[in-house]
Amino acid sequence: ELQLLAAVASGDTNELAMATREAARVGGEDAAQFEGYSAAKQKMSTLQAKRLQQQALEVIRGETKDLESLMAVISVALGRSDWDREWDQIWTEVLEEGRAKVKQMLEVAKAPGDGLPVRDHKLIARIAVLGRKHNLSVVTRFAVTSWEESVAAAVAAQHFATLAAMARDSSGSPEFDIVLEATQKEMQRIAKLWDREGKDEARKLLGQAVQAFQLPEAAQLKASAEQCSQDASVAQILAEVEKQLSARGESLEETWVRQVVQGLATCRAWRWPEVQEDARETLAKQVEQHLDAMLIEKTMKPDEGSQKLVMVLDVAKELEAAEVVGSIMESKLRTRVERLRDAKGEPIEWLKLGRLCGRLGYTQLRQVAMEGLTQSLEQLKVDSEEALLRAFQEEAQQLGEAEAASAATSSLAEISERRRLREQELRESLEEQKKAPFGDVDLEVLISCLVKSELDGMEDIAQQAKEMCQQRLAEASAAARDGDRDQALLGLRYILRQMHAAQRSKCSFEANLQEALRELQKEAVSSRDGKWLLRLYAWSSDLPEVRNFAAKELQSLEEKWRLNPCDTEAAPKEVAGMAEESKALAGLLSGLSLDFIEDLRQRDELWRSLREKPDAVKISEAFVFLKAKALGDAMEAELKSMLESAWEEAKQSGDRGQLDAVSKIEAGDMAKAMREEAKELLKLMSSLETHLANKDWPGICGISAISHQKSYAALAKQTRQHLRDRVDELTTSSDRRGIESSLLELYTAARKENLSDFAELLVQKLGSSLPSEWAAVKGSSLSVQKEKVEDATVIQRMQDMVDETFKGWGRIKKTRDRRNPLGTRLKVMEVWHVENSENYLRYSVRREKIKQELVSSPASGTELDDACPIRTKGVSLKGLKFHPDEPVDIGINEVWLWHGTSKAGAEGITDTDFKLSMAGSAAGTMFGRGLYFAESCMKSDEYTKQDERQWSPLILCRVTCGRLFYCDWKLPSDHTTELEDSCLKKEFHCVLGDREKVRGTFREFIVFDNDQVYPEYIVW
User: Can you list the alpha helix ranges (DSSP code H) found in 508-574?
Assistant: 510-526, 530-538, 544-563
Q: Residue 565 — φ and ψ, nearest 5°?
A: -65, -15
What does the pLDDT read at residue 222?
33
Is residue 510 predicted with pLDDT exceeding 80? Answer: no
Kind plus residue range of the DSSP H or E element containing 994: strand 990-994
What does the pLDDT read at residue 199?
61
Residues of the chain with pLDDT > 90: what percent? 14
- CB of 372 within 8 A of CB of 337? yes
Task: Transcribe 109-175 into DSSP letters.
Answer: HHS-BTTBS-S-HHHHHHHHHHHHHTT-HHHHHHHHHHHHHHHHHHHHTT-HHHHHHHHHHTTTSHH
Is residue 990 predicted with pLDDT exceeding 70? Answer: yes
Task: Name the residue with higher pLDDT: 57 or 717.
Answer: 717
Is residue 225 predicted with pLDDT exceeding 50? Answer: no
* Confidence at 809, pLDDT banded by 50, 70, 90: confident
Which residues touch 371 (CB under 8 Å, ≥6 apart)? none
What does the pLDDT read at residue 902?
93
The burial class, CB within 10 Å (0-12 / 13-18 / 19+), for 255 is exposed
* Confidence at 974, pLDDT banded by 50, 70, 90: very high
Q: Which of 300-304, 402-406, 620-624, 653-657 has the highest mean pLDDT?
A: 402-406
Is residue 542 predicted with pLDDT exceeding 90? Answer: no
* Confidence at 295, pLDDT banded by 50, 70, 90: low
Mean pLDDT of the chain: 76
User: What secondary structure, in 3-state letters, does 728-749 show?
Assistant: HHHHCCCCHHHHHHHHHHHHHH
The pLDDT of 504-526, averaged and rounded, is 78
Is residue 757 predicted with pLDDT exceeding 90? Answer: no
Residues 759 and 849: their CA atoms lie apart, in Å, by 13
Strand 894-900 versus strand 831-835 pairing type: unpaired
**Global confidence as pTM:** 0.34
Q: Which of 45-59, 307-321, 827-841 has the highest mean pLDDT?
A: 827-841
* Confidence at 967, pLDDT banded by 50, 70, 90: very high
Look at 74-78, 560-564, 826-830 and tell me which has the smallest mean pLDDT.
560-564
How far, in whole angstroms, is CA 977 from its chain's centroid? 45
Residues of the chain with pLDDT > 70: what percent? 73
- CB of 805 within 8 A of CB of 866? no
3-state helix, strand and coil shares in percent for the chain, rounded to the nearest 5: 70, 5, 25
Is residue 43 predicted with pLDDT exceeding 50? Answer: yes
Number of other CB atoms surrounding residue 381 within 10 Å: 19
* Confidence at 450, pLDDT banded by 50, 70, 90: confident
Angle at 617 between CA 615 and CA 619, to 5 degrees: 65
* Confidence at 245, pLDDT banded by 50, 70, 90: very low
What does the pLDDT read at residue 744?
58
- CB of 136 within 8 A of CB of 71? yes
The pLDDT of 145-170, averaged and rounded, is 82
What does the pLDDT read at residue 250?
45
Residues 802 and 804: their CA atoms lie apart, in Å, by 5
What does the pLDDT read at residue 87?
58
Is residue 233 predicted with pLDDT exceeding 50? Answer: no
Task: Name the residue with higher pLDDT: 743 or 537.
Answer: 537
| Nearest residue to 995 via CA among 921, 942, 917 | 942
> What is the length of the chain?
1020
Look at 198-212, 656-670, 718-732 and tell me which has the smallest mean pLDDT.
198-212
| Nearest residue to 242 via CA among 213, 208, 205, 204 | 213
pLDDT digits (tens, 9 = 90+) for 896-934: 999 999 999 999 999 888 887 777 666 678 999 999 999
What does the pLDDT read at residue 695?
85
pLDDT digits (tens, 9 = 90+) for 668-724: 655 677 778 888 888 888 888 898 888 888 888 888 888 888 888 888 888 888 888
The pLDDT of 194-211, averaged and rounded, is 61
Is residue 242 predicted with pLDDT exceeding 50? Answer: no
pLDDT digits (tens, 9 = 90+) for 87-106: 567 677 777 888 888 888 88
728-754 CB burial, b ≥16 within 10 A, e <16:
eebbeeeeeeebeebbeebbebbeebe
Which residues touch 13 (CB under 8 Å, ≥6 apart)? 44, 47, 48, 51
Number of other CB atoms surrounding residue 469 within 10 Å: 23
What does the pLDDT read at residue 268?
37
What does the pLDDT read at residue 909?
92
C-alpha torsion angle, residues 273, 277, 280, 284 (rounded to 10): 170
DSSP 8-state secondary structure symbol assigned to residue 872: G
Residues 266 and 367: their CA atoms lie apart, in Å, by 35
Residues 427 and 841: their CA atoms lie apart, in Å, by 100
How far, in whole angstroms, is CA 164 from its chain's centroid? 76
What does the pLDDT read at residue 211?
58
Which residues touch 812 (CB under 8 Å, ≥6 apart)? 999, 1000, 1001
Look at 50-59, 388-397, 836-845, 897-906 and tell me which has the smallest mean pLDDT.
50-59
Q: Residue 959 — φ and ψ, nearest 5°?
A: -130, 120
What does the pLDDT read at residue 579?
72
Task: Name the residue with higher pLDDT: 580 or 244.
Answer: 580
Residues 424 and 177: their CA atoms lie apart, in Å, by 78
User: What secondary structure, in 3-state letters, does 557-586 show?
Assistant: HHHHHHHCCCCCCCCCCCHHHHHHHHHHCH
Residues 855 and 85: their CA atoms lie apart, in Å, by 113
Residues 682 and 319: their CA atoms lie apart, in Å, by 131
CA atoms within 13 A on the CB side of 698: 8
What does the pLDDT read at residue 931?
94
Is residue 299 predicted with pLDDT exceeding 80? Answer: no
What does the pLDDT read at residue 609?
63
Is residue 400 predicted with pLDDT exceeding 70? Answer: yes
